[in-house]
Structure 1
Amino acid sequence: MQSVQTQTRWVTLDPQNLLVIDSTRGRMIVEMRPDLAPKAVERIKLLAREKVYDGLQFHRVIDLFVVQTGNPNNKDGGTSTYPNLEPEFSVRLPAKVAWRQVTQTSDGNSGFLGTMPVLTVSDAETRRRNEPTFQAWGAYCPGVAGMGRGEALDSANSEIFFMRGASSFRLGLQYTAWGNAVIGREVVTTVVAGEPPANPDIMQRVQVAADMPEGQRPVVEMMDPQGPAFAQLVDTVQREKGADFSICDIQVPTRLK
């Protein structure tokens, strides 16, 4: 019988939806999910290509909570020259979408879209609506990226944040989740904390991977969430955590090819 190691399948992530952030704490690569937040991803790509994000500070960093950046004035409330975005707090996905379900309860389900942890309504709620889709939204686990906003629900613009801890209960269905850090998560955990930090770290350069020269473009692979190696990983973590298990207790393994 083959070992799980030899059965492990790896899937290459789309460079069109990889955001490469070079910072004073190192490089972080983020998988963007236009299937969850198409307008947010479109805006982030636009601002990256216009170099709006280059040189901006991590201006608000709260331990065990969030790391915020992306405001051109390096303060909360700063915006780009583009209009604010409508909320994309949840999305309706086709019933046959390729996602990896991990938990199923009477109150809702959880799993992964690519590397992105997601929550969904229950199967019973989906059946009640009698539609060929189901409602899903990003789970705010460590490393997950969201759009910052003001008091108004439609005030997201250029600010982005990364989770330094898990906070799905506080942020879920209230902020647009658009991606997940897949390489260099230590950047999120090591940038200098403060509101604002005394000596803030910065994003030196932000690029879409597909725009980078072929010899410089990072190639990122994820363990196939549908494969046996990931199934064994899920089973191991669920047994270790028991009744306390949540989708934030597991990450889809990734690597640079």
Structure 2
Amino acid sequence: MIRLFAALALMMVSVVAQAQQLPAGTDPQNTILLDTKDGRIVIKLRPDLAPKHAERLKQLARDKYYDNVPFHRVIEGFMAQTGDGQFGNGTGGSKYPNLPAEFSNVPFKRGIVGMARSSDPNSANSQFFIMLAENPGLDGKYTVVGEVVSGMNAVDKVKKGSPTDNGRVTNPDKIVRMQVAADAK
């Protein structure tokens, strides 16, 4: 009986571990798990490119700031923007100060995660966007903070906004939960 219990417990631990396996090359301390109604998006953060921005996303995820936050601006063939946990409409930010730009030479291609900002390059705070397609016009002008390594099919399903209203989404899809992989339960 004890052997049967031990075997069952080992099988359950194995199933849980397999369910939480991350794609190759990801570090749980620098990986974001973003859950949507259509599935999980796994984001590999790039602290080598943007250490302050990567730390901010982790800090806000740990604060549960992003839970239930809408994808307020989604433009077909361009990007899906979220991260305004203050107002939900793209005008807010977190309680933390804005971050200085950490631009790099990484191109804005499909799956890249960039930090949203105003016209001031040093105004990124909490909002970020996931590229749906390549856009070289952003290269070197916005901070690349990570890249989707799994779950682009879920990103593609995020409700799109009106092209006539700069991608503003009516009744937008939301982040169900966002967490650092190392903290996932």
TM-score bracket for the superposition, by shorter chain length: 0.7 to 0.9
Unpaired stretches in structure 2, ≥5 consecutive residues: 1-22, 162-166
Please give the alpha-carbon distance, in whole angstroms, between the structure 1 residues aligned to 2:178 and 2:25. 21
Is the aligned partner of 1:70 residue 2:121? no
Identity of aligned residues (%): 44
Q: Does the aligned pair in 2 maintain the 1:138–1:178 contact within 8 Å?
A: no
**Structure 2 partner of 1:81:** 95
Counterparts of 1:165 and 1:11 in 2: how far apart (Å)? 23
DSSP 3-state at the match of 1:203: coil
Asked if the contact 1:143/1:163 (under 8 Å) is kept, the reply is yes
Whether 2:134 is the aligned partner of 1:172: answer: no
Contact 1:191 1:201 in 2 (8 A): yes
Superposition misfits of 4+ residues, deviation over 3 angstroms: none
With the length of structure 1 as denominator, give the TM-score of the two structures. 0.59
Alignment RMSD, CA only? 1.2
Counterpart CA distance in 1 for 2:143 and 2:25 is 25
CA distance in 1: counterparts of 2:126 and 2:139, whole angstroms: 19
2-side partners of 1:187 and 1:66: how far apart? Answer: 13
2: distance between equivalents of 1:147 and 1:70?
A: 9
1:210 is the counterpart of 2:182: yes
Indicate the residue corresponding to 2:127 in structure 1: 159
In structure 1, the residue matched to 2:73 is 60
C-alpha separation in 1, matches of 2:99 and 2:116: 11
In the alignment, structure 1 residue 33 sits paired with structure 2 residue 46 = yes
Residue in structure 2 matched with residue 142 of structure 1 by the alignment: 110
C-alpha distance in 2, partners of 1:26/1:69? 16
Greater share of strand: 1
Please report how far the alpha carbon of residue 11 of structure 1 lies from its aligned counterpart in structure 2 after TM superposition: 4.2
Query: Which position in structure 2 is the counterpart of 1:191?
Result: 158
Which residue of 2 is the match for residue 115 of structure 1? none
Note the alpha carbon deviations across 1:66-117, whole angstroms, 9 max, x for none.
1000012111221101000000012xxxxxxxxxxxxxxxxxxxxxxxxxxx
The equivalent residue for 2:11 is: none
Deviations 1:10-58 (A, max 9, x none): 9442111110001122110000010000000000000000000000000
Amino acid at match of 1:198: T
1:178 match: secondary structure: strand
